[in-house]
Amino acid sequence: MHIDQEIKLDFADVLIRPKRSALPSRAEVDIRREFVFKHSQRRYRGIPIIAANMDTIGTFEMALALAPFELSVALHKHYREDELVRFFSSLEVKSSAFYSMGITKPDHEKFERVASGTGEAIEYVCIDVANGYTESFVKFVEKFREAYPKLTIMAGNVVTGEMTEEMILSGVDIVKVGIGPGSVCTTRSMTGVGYPQLSAVIECADAAHGLGGLICADGGCTAPGDLAKAFGGGADFVMLGGMLAGHAECSGDVIEKHGKQYKRFYGMSSRAAMEKYAGGIAQYRAAEGRETLVEYRGPVAATVQEILGGVRSACTYVGARKLKELTKRTTFVRVSGRANDSFDESG
């Protein structure tokens, strides 16, 4: 047994210290980023925020709504092949959408069929497993990269520098970082496993950037300021689930309860998701996600404006004219107690 004595931080453990700035207004701030991916060598330009590949969030409707803002969506993996082929072959937004998949043989075969049905239309793939520390995951990613040299591959999840390096050396362009911080995730309480998300982001970004790779901070953002902290900590992309939940573009019906309107939101390893897609929870495992009702918030556009406004404002406070400069200009101050005005304790 070993105890790591170094303090590890979550978003709520810090604030960003303001700095002198010559920026007259937040309208001057450009929060777009441009990247050339290490392996695919494809060029990216957009606002590096990705809707999570959860079946309530990563929907076609969300992709259509976020595209005008230059945000991306990781489509959930439960769409049928014909639906995916139609989406990727016909829409302009396809270029900012990730095809998501697991690492089983059927996952791979489904991808091959959809990819061949869409020509070269799929540019981005998200290979997603709860635990990115298994040998089978690394082997799968290596083989997948060999088979598809031109795809931009995002894969995870991991939380440490050495595994981030291994992922990048195995062919991953964007390493997805986060184990346990999700708003409907119960991994920390069910297994005792996890890593405070801001520290994971800082350490994995450092490791990735050293090799010319990128990271996506996945999970734990509860307010726009958390995105600013993730970008300030070195994240190249940020993935959002809970902050985009409850909108018109999310799957599921609006539920009326006690005179209020809600939408269901649940983790992809929750009982609700396993019952929907796997016919229940397998005997050898337990749910590592929970289900909740989120107040209905109408179209997602207003929420996106609020998020982008918050990130832009954070850049102004530290004098970053571009989002790219935010991390260089970020000094975190540790706070005692929780930094955000409100915090979802269930995370």
- Catalytic amino acids? 185
DSSP per-residue codes, 232-256: HTT-SEEEESGGGTTSTTSSS--EE
Question: Residue 96 CB, nearest distance to ligand 5GP (Å)?
Answer: 17
Q: Which of these, 206, 211, 221, 215, lies nearest to 236 by C-alpha position?
A: 215
* Cα–Cα distance for residue pair 213/114, rounded to 1 Å: 27
The CB-side HSE value for 20 (13 A sphere, CA atoms) comes to 0
Nearer to ligand 5GP, 173 or 218 (CB): 218
**Chosen residue from 167, 242, 246, 312 binding ligand 5GP by CB under 6 A:** 242
User: What mask of x and - would describe binding to ligand 5GP in positions 9 to 48, judged by CB under 6 A?
Assistant: ----------------------------------------
> What letter does residue 69 receive in the DSSP assignment?
G
Part of the chain binding ligand 5GP (CB under 6 A), chosen from 10-18, 19-27, 84-92, 240-248: 240-248
Using CA atoms of 187, 205, 76, 118 in order, give the dihedral in degrees to the nearest 10.
Answer: -150
Nearer to ligand 5GP, 85 or 236 (CB): 236
Query: Coil, strand or helix: which one is 313?
Result: helix
Token representation of residue 282: 């397998």
Interface residues for ligand 5GP in 201-220 (CB under 6 A)? 218-220
Nearer to ligand 5GP, 166 or 218 (CB): 218
**Chosen residue from 241, 294, 300, 332 binding ligand 5GP by CB under 6 A:** 241
Interface residues for ligand 5GP in 257-296 (CB under 6 A)? 267-270, 288-289
**Chosen residue from 239, 307, 311, 339 binding ligand 5GP by CB under 6 A:** 239
| Residue 77 burial (10 A CB sphere; 0-12, 13-18, 19+) | buried
* Cα–Cα distance for residue pair 123/139, rounded to 1 Å: 21
User: What mask of x and - would describe binding to ligand 5GP in positions 120 to 149, judged by CB under 6 A?
Assistant: ----------x-------------------
Site membership for ligand 5GP, residue 187 (CB under 6 A): yes
DSSP per-residue codes, 245-302: TTSTTSSS--EEETTEEEEEEE-TTBHHHHHHHHSS--TT----B-EEEEE----THH
Site membership for ligand 5GP, residue 246 (CB under 6 A): no
**Chosen residue from 240, 307, 308, 339 binding ligand 5GP by CB under 6 A:** 240
Part of the chain binding ligand 5GP (CB under 6 A), chosen from 59-67, 85-93, 181-189, 205-213: 181-189
* Cα–Cα distance for residue pair 245/243, rounded to 1 Å: 6
**Chosen residue from 48, 132, 182, 225 binding ligand 5GP by CB under 6 A:** 182
> What letter does residue 322 receive in the DSSP assignment?
B
Please give the residue ranges that form the binding site for ligand 5GP (CB under 6 A). 52, 54, 130, 157, 178, 182-185, 187, 218-221, 239-243, 267-270, 288-289
